[in-house]
Amino acid sequence: MIVGIPKEIFPGERRVALTPAVVPGLVKNGLKVIIQAGAGTEAGYPDADFIARGAQVVPNRQDVFAQADIVTQVLCYGSNDKTGREDLPLMRKDQILIGFLRPLGGREVVQDVAATGVIGFAVELMPRSTRAQAMDALSSMGTVCGYKAVVIAAATLPRLFPMMTTAAGTIPPARVLVIGAGVAGLQAIATARRLGAVVSGYDLRPAAKEQVQSLGAKFVELPIEAANAQDAGGYAVAQDQTFYNRQQELLGQAVADSDVVVTTAAIPGKKSPVLVSADMVRRMAPGSVIVDLAAARGGNCELTVPEQDITVDGVRIIGQINLASTAPYHASLMYSRNLAAFLGLLVKKGQLIIDTKDDIIRDTLLTRNGQLVNQKIREFYSLPKLEAL
């Protein structure tokens, strides 16, 4: 059985799905690994490293899809809404496709993937369980994004992050507010703390308070409580507009007092909630920075423009998307380990085993036999339940 690694084709994407370090383990499990020439170069993994670990380099994308029984990607069609459609004619029935497929992004796109006949696994659907932790690509990429958001903010802010006592006097520390205490938010808090800033964190989930405080940050408590703050997987649940209006009102002073605001609140399958209004931005001091990690879904800041950096009344609003790609070496390293662990569950001694009684396989399986088969995603799109996968 052959595992293929094509070069990523999303504009500006520098990651690679598998790195040389995991190749020997895959080979030992009875898999042959092929990679498109140059697929890992921009991430810092040259072809020679893959060859040295037992992989074979093939000249082009068509060869990878034609030969591979399993295709591993970072951004498959769905998450790659710009150029991903180009891969559809290369796919074939019963070929395995593993990567970010963005299943909640649009029913038509998912059905386009299903129509190719591929058996598609969407890594963002990985269950949040102890057993699945090693395969949790969403958390891995969230870690990278949280770190990079703060590094970008520190480079943009026209002041230093740490307090310094110098011959010219004491320099006060920067004040950083992180909204949303998921994986990306917690990493942003930890990074800002390491850089010496005074950090506050806010999340509508009461359970996040202890996590924020454990990192040495102050938890911003608001006199407002969500009726149902999180789902069974630990993700925040969308609230009604009345809640968000009240939340904005109460968060206004915390935002105004901050030099940097990092927003991370995303609701799967929905537009990002607006947590920072235009009025709140105008109350911030000139030179302040907002890094909106929810920009791809519209943004948590009312003024965010996805894929652009803008300045409003002296406040820099950074709407950059795909931040994980800006640290491609380690982002690829973590993602590769996630996929290798998943492949270890899916393949035993070179034999493919799709055991839909296994919750990890069942929850990530998206398409099969020309259909959208994931029950949760079918419910999301109001499709009738399938009797069997």
State yes or no: is 139 an active-site residue. Answer: yes
Pick the catalytic residue from 47, 63, 69, 235: 235
First to last CA, the chain: 23
Give, in order, the Cα–Cα distances in Å from 137 to each of 22, 109, 301: 15, 21, 26
Which two three-digit tokens encode residue 154? Answer: 């520190």
User: DSSP of 336-378, one letter per residue?
Assistant: HHHHHHHHHHHEETTEE---TTSHHHHHHEEEETTEE--HHHH
Pick the catalytic residue from 136, 203, 259, 292: 136
Pick the catalytic residue from 95, 139, 325, 332: 139
| DSSP letter, residue 301 | B
Pick the catalytic residue from 92, 128, 159, 205: 128
Residue 190 is inside which H or E element, if any? helix 183-194
Alpha carbons 5 and 335: distance in angstroms, whole number: 13
| DSSP letter, residue 172 | P
State yes or no: is 335 an active-site residue. Answer: no
Alpha carbons 201 and 237: distance in angstroms, whole number: 18
State yes or no: is 282 an active-site residue. Answer: no
Residues with Cβ within 8 Å of residue 125, at least 6 apart in sequence: 103, 363, 364, 366, 374, 376, 377
What count of other Cβ atoms lies within 10 Å of the Cβ of residue 288? 26
Which two three-digit tokens encode residue 39? Answer: 């697929």
To the nearest 10°, the Cα dihedral for 23, 29, 31, 36? Answer: -10
> Cα–Cα–Cα angle for 113, 144, 274, nearest 5°?
75
State yes or no: is 235 an active-site residue. Answer: yes
Catalytically active residues, by annotation: 128, 133, 136, 139, 235
